[in-house]
Amino acid sequence: MALRSDEVKKGVIRAPHRSLLKATGLTDEEMSRPFIGVANSANDVVPGHIHLDKIAEAVKAGIRLAGGTPFEFSTIGVCDGIAMNHAGMKYSLPSREIIADSVELVVEAHRFDALVLIPSCDKVTPGMLMAAARLNIPSVVVSGGPMLAGKYRGKDIDLISVFEAVGAVGSGKMTEEELAEYESCACPTCGSCSGMFTANTMNCLTEAIGLGLPGNGTVPATYSERIRLAKHAGMAVMELLESDIRPDRILTKEAFRNALAVDMALGGSTNTVLHMAAIAHEADIEFDLEMVDEISQQTPNLCKISPAGTQHIEDLYRAGGIMAVMAELNKGGHLDTTVMTVTGKPLADNLSGVEVLDNTVIRPLSDPYSKTGGLAILFGNLAPDGAVVKQAAVAERMLVHSGPARVFDGEPEATDAILSNRINPGDVIVIRYEGPKGGPGMREMLTPTSALAGMGLDDKVALITDGRFSGGTRGAAIGHVSPEAQEGGPIAALKQGDAIEIDIPGRKLDVKLTDDELQARLGNWTAPELKVKKGYLALYARMVSSAAKGAILE
């Protein structure tokens, strides 16, 4: 079998290359085997990444067991929680492109034959999936696994509990001493934060789309099973190389539809819409918001994992994990089980014999939380190109809402108004100029939504933005409003007190203005200067597309 790595190790002309490889300690025996890249996003600052050195060692052991020679290299990772609610959050989404690009650069420069990718947190998983699609060499993704839930006086809590507790302190519902207890026990282990937030949603969808082995999304980070899974990932990539099964055989349109169906059943993060669109772009798969909503309308919501409910990823693991969710969906014909996966087998084989082990965590199709999926796509005169909401985490009374706009040109101004008790029940908070270009970087709005929840306003107030939300957000939080304000979208024309009409079941987001009045306002609007003039963010702002296209670079 001809190998890509032959380009750096075979023939007289490659003697200098072999010399450099031998400088790393490589033997002739190792040189004769396939070269397998191991992309590791380990670092010392992200809780989901601090243990990835052990995952990488297990992956490399699996590769060696199966006859390959592993080469570990690094890429970056940002902790969205630590980056939240300050300038650092502007860099989170843009890091996704750096991750994809850096993996591509190392793999192509050194001509690796196959690839194992080790992400854990929010932008690293989609960035690595983008790289796998772009490179199209045999690839397996194995994440670091989810964190266990924290315990506070007999109650399960997580990172979002701490964000919401800040609002509770601000409204006098909690003391600072209680908050200190919360912060010390909410995140008790390494791993990606324990709810169905963006990181865990994307790691679950990696399994659902076929690029992760069964268990990738839910086996806890601290379990020895995660180490064994990593070893199997190393062995699996060698089997994919032998069979020449590449991502383009796995990342088909049917596989994307399967992943979206699982997303809807789980009630996953709104960020998945951005990321799945970007991955589909790399895989040359047609993807649009209409397809997302079509699948949502057809797929029942079977799980209520935090922030939508009180359960956590460890509970989903004990209930049978993502394969059990898929087995239940398959009973209703919601999946295409002929698709190929990194097991080297079609999905149907992976689901053989799989059962749901706890119907309180994964509800049966006959008794779903709702007949439609966890996410909804809204359109209207305020969002001609669409907006996204996690409807599974919206209180029933807020599914249809009309209220006066409280308009803020940026997250800090809105957060200050919330924490200063200047928001009233019934208001519709509008945070604009936080889109991919306007932010730049499309910041997550976890602080304002968590403050509202902690103050007991999440079922009384709506929030819409051209920015985005953390997977930990709950409430009537509508993001990705497109076109964004910076590009002259209708959200730029809103004024204080405008009547905003939200109809999530009807998939509508409107401002109560005539077309003529809205166009007249936009005709008098002038685009503000970009907020950042130099560095990576300035480059990003000039090149990034609309959120409706996945905020990809064009």
* Cα-based distances in Å from 181 to 47, 147, 191, 549: 19, 18, 20, 42
Q: At a CB cut-off of 8 Å and minimum separation 6, what does 436 contact?
A: 93, 442, 484, 540, 541, 544, 545, 546, 547, 551
Q: Which residues contact 80 (CB under 8 A, 6 or more apart)?
A: 89, 92, 121, 122, 123, 198, 444, 446, 470
Q: How far is the C-alpha of 61 from the C-alpha of 38, rounded, in Å?
A: 11
Closest CA to 259 of 193, 315, 334, 360: 334
19 is catalytic: no
Q: Output DSSP code: residue 553.
A: B
Per annotation, catalytic residue among 139, 161, 192, 470: 470
* Inter-residue contact 116 to 187 (CB < 8 Å): no
Whole-angstrom CA distances from 480 to 195, 271, 464, 540 are 22, 9, 9, 17
Q: Which residue has the tokens 């590769």?
A: 63
d(CA 254, CA 442): 29
Cβ neighbours for 268, distance < 8 A, ≥ 6 positions apart: 196, 201, 204, 205, 374, 375, 390, 471
State whether residue 13 is helix, strand or coil.
Answer: helix
Active centre residues (catalytic): 470
